[in-house]
Amino acid sequence: MQERVKIPKFDVVGTRPVRPDGADKVTGRAKYGADHNVAGQLVGKVLRSPYPHARIKSIDTSAALALTGVKAVVTRDDFKDQSSEFVPAGEMLVNYRDVLRNVMAREKVLFEGHPVAAVAATSEAIARAALRAIKVEYEILPHVIDVVEAMKPDAPIVEDGMITVGVTPPPTKPSNVAKRVEFVLGDVEKGFKEADLVIEREFNTKPVHQGYIEPHACVGSVSEDGTAELWTTTQGHWIARAHCARLLGWDMTKLRVTSSEIGGGFGGKTVVYLEPLALALSAKTHRPVKMAMSREEVFKASGPTSGANVWVKMGVKKDGTITAGEAILKYQAGCFQGSPVQPGCMCAFAPYDLANVKVVGFDVLSNRPKVAAYRAPGGPISEYAVESVVDEIAEKLGMCPIELRLKNAAKEGTKAAYGPKFGPVGMVECLEAAKSSPHWNGPLGKNQGRGIAAGFWFNIGGETTVNLQLNEDGTLTLMAGTPDIGGLRASLAMMAAEELKIPYEKVRPIIGDTSTLGYNFVTGGSRSTFSSGLATVEAARSIIKQACGRAAKLWEIPEDAVTWDNGEIKPAGDNAGKFKPMKLSDIAKVAGKTGGSIVGVGAISAQGAAPSFGVHIADSEVDPDTGKLTITRYTVIQDAGIAIHPAYVEGQFQGGAAQGIGWALNEEYIYGADGKLQNAGFLDYRIPVASDLPMIETIIVEVPNPRHPYGVRGIGETAIVPPMAAINASAARATGVRMFELPLSPPKVLKAMKEAKKA
């Protein structure tokens, strides 16, 4: 690991303490979604559609209910319909009409795996028998899987009567295109006229799953008085509460949601699937109902992100100045609208300071599971296409790909095509760090090629609450509400310790439930260290203020005559030196006698999130006889603002790169002509195993975010944006062939090499 670019000026921030949740995780004590069990619980199971598209004519549950041990069955009839209304959830919008239909099919089943009924029984075997006993009568409809096919005028219509939004005048005929979006800056036609070289390319990508190791799991328990508890693995328990209360028609206060430890989410756990079903089954039986997906169910009925068809055209002058960038993005949304095509459009050219940009996006339905957020949703797809064209431009101009990017790099003051002007950003710094890195200047072996690509992600803030309580012995308990996926508890405890000038070990961070803490939006948008960090600092400063007040009371001097000086509470001004300075622990001891418990609350809507740019370098080696690509060296360079806990920043960099390598080389959803998924398991859906990856080197660049007390930028998502283009560029050099389709699996690469040899 390369050390930090800057020397930390803090005591705690920038160090690498052991994470507070580490021991329980490595010993197996930590409780994940499926580790929670309640006395008397029933087993819940879901009956899923075997067809990709069919009208449900009838559902007969009587034989299932007649089985001994079957306690309840729920179908579409158990849920009140929801009107069409879009509300924000994570970085995407949700429509409760669709959320309901995704949880339980109503008029039609829209993908293989779509839930049609759920049962609760006293054993797994009985629950399975009950599923077999449910009789569903389907009218099978023609289906469509591919995004380009789905846009054709004669394609089967997934959502009856859907009219494209964003087109003037509105179309009169229904189609599978839910929405058209457009972002324009300057005049691309003018830009292309100024260009000496114009390159135009079409790319295709496949849907890929988030691939979290922990499947969805929950326990719902509804009491006889209508109050309910839900234990679930989620990226946002307040969102889970809101969705469940809405779908079930309950008051939010009656539902208490606890988030378990989470075994990966990557955006895919910002959605409810099993939770409303478990609660509905428990409401019928008044017994706890535990539900867990199998891996097959995870693949067939959760996630993934979109597959897409992307067209990119870029113009450039001989000196490397990019004169225009244009793109058309067609993203699969799955069976309901809401693909990440809009952020995809906004990201497409974001790493560059361009005068002329036009990006058009289409949100397209097909008979696949509804996509869920996946790490920088939409960004990796559009930036893969744009960065692949940038690499080709560098090659055609005979220019170093870093120099070409430096010439056009976004910097402070650059107006992004999607609207805002950037504040201080680290694109140039990342490129410079790449240029001087050992990797970029290192040797290449036979059949190897090196590629480089940049990436961008916005990052968000949002509603956040943190409670910080000063315990009697001077230690603190920190309660946050953004589920800890990547080392959040460590980072928050570090910021609290830094602020309060106490040892890191004196702060015990936990994640609170929805009834013990104010509202928290999801862990998503790389927001949790930024937003919960801001709230932590606010809560800590409140503790300091209250402690100073208590000292003033003890010393019988005015509050404004007490100061906080690097961990000590001191009398100031005329009173300076009159009283012995006190520490927080001294105040803690007498808190009860001076006004009661000292609790700091940070309840904010976090503003000032700053984007993070990254640059990745990939070396790949091709087996010329089989087309198999192996990544032999890989470096992630990314602007972290300030790395609070550098080891977890590096972990995020490496994790994003690992997922990107899978996306680039082997991961894809494979459908048969019957519209059924053929590889619903980790055997044939190939995420990389450890031996597939080189050690992923990291360089943390630090361009502090001026709008955070510790300079934090979100870093979790950007790391998955550059890998596909970096690997594509490295593969082009290793094989001598440019490819325009993901994944770069051996049969495709070998075929491309053979065809190039023939030509």
Site residues, another protein (CB under 8 A) = 128, 296, 625-628, 665-666, 670, 678-679, 683-684, 686, 688-689, 691-692, 745-747, 750-751
Q: Pick the closest to residue 102 from 292, 372, 343 (CA basis).
A: 372
Backbone angles phi, psi at 615, to 5 degrees: -135, 130
Would you say 146 or 296 has its CB closer to another protein? Answer: 296
Q: Pick the closest to residue 233 from 286, 280, 278, 283 (CA basis).
A: 278
Integer Cα distance of 459 and 456 in angstroms:
9
Q: How far is the CB of 692 from another protein (least distance, A)?
A: 5
Would you say 317 or 686 has its CB closer to another protein? Answer: 686
Distance of CA 593 to the CA centre of its chain: 46
- DSSP character at residue 720: G
Q: How far is the CB of 366 from another protein (least distance, A)?
A: 19
Would you say 686 or 738 has its CB closer to another protein? Answer: 686
Integer Cα distance of 590 and 176 in angstroms:
67
Would you say 129 or 433 has its CB closer to another protein? Answer: 129
Q: How far is the CB of 158 from another protein (least distance, A)?
A: 24
Would you say 13 or 622 has its CB closer to another protein? Answer: 622
Q: How far is the CB of 679 from another protein (least distance, A)?
A: 5
Integer Cα distance of 147 and 329 in angstroms:
11
Would you say 35 or 296 has its CB closer to another protein? Answer: 296
Helix locations, 595-697, DSSP H: 646-665
Q: How far is the CB of 627 from another protein (least distance, A)?
A: 8
Q: How far is the CB of 142 from another protein (least distance, A)?
A: 23
Q: How far is the CB of 113 from another protein (least distance, A)?
A: 15
Integer Cα distance of 393 and 408 in angstroms:
13
Integer Cα distance of 250 and 39 in angstroms:
25
Beta strand pairing status for 54-60 and 108-109? antiparallel
**Six-digit token string for 128:** 């399975």
Would you say 108 or 368 has its CB closer to another protein? Answer: 368
Buried b or exposed e, range 58-95, using 16+ CB within 10 angstroms: ebebeebeeeeebbbbbbbebbeebeeeeeebbbbebb
Q: How far is the CB of 613 from another protein (least distance, A)?
A: 31
**Helix (H) and strand (E) counts for the chain?**
19, 27
Would you say 503 or 747 has its CB closer to another protein? Answer: 747
Would you say 549 or 694 has its CB closer to another protein? Answer: 694
Integer Cα distance of 407 and 342 in angstroms:
27
CB 728 within 8 A of CB 384: yes
CB 328 within 8 A of CB 238: no
Q: Pick the closest to residue 90 from 344, 305, 378, 377 (CA basis).
A: 377
Q: How far is the CB of 45 from another protein (least distance, A)?
A: 12
Q: How far is the CB of 630 from another protein (least distance, A)?
A: 8
Would you say 8 or 746 has its CB closer to another protein? Answer: 746
Integer Cα distance of 710 and 498 in angstroms:
10
